[in-house]
Amino acid sequence: MIPKLSEAFIRRHATSQSLERGQDYYQSGSVTSLIQRGKELSAKVEGSEFEPYRISIGFNKGGVTSVFCTCPYDFEGWCKHIIATLLTCLHQPDRIEQRPELTELLAPLTLEQLQLVLLKLVVHQLNFDQ
């Protein structure tokens, strides 16, 4: 659960149009994945593109510290996808899947295994960017 998350907090970071559209996305169930690893939350939100938008939200005990969305929104406040994600966290916290932090998952790997993981990630990212 993200500390200090409220509708008032979300409203403060959104334009009225983004808030309205984010509420529509939340209510229509467009947030398809919510995964928390420590102080990071990642989500996928169905939108107008074929691939869902990817959202990343960082937080600490004081609340939200960072937000990112892969959509092209570049205006005032947060985009509708971030708003839909936060509304889902606020109203449906049971949808958040808890997973171990990446450092915890990577700690037992050998140097060779880490190199293999890194190479696979680079190849995947190169294919994704094309």
* 67-107 residue pLDDT tens: 999 999 988 999 999 999 999 999 999 999 999 988 888 89
In whole angstroms, what is the distance from residue 3 CA to residue 39 CA? 10
Helical pair 16-27 and 80-91, crossing angle rounded to 10 deg: 50
What's the predicted TM-score (pTM) here? 0.83
Mean pLDDT of 15-30: 96
Domain boundaries along the sequence of the chain? 7-99, 100-130
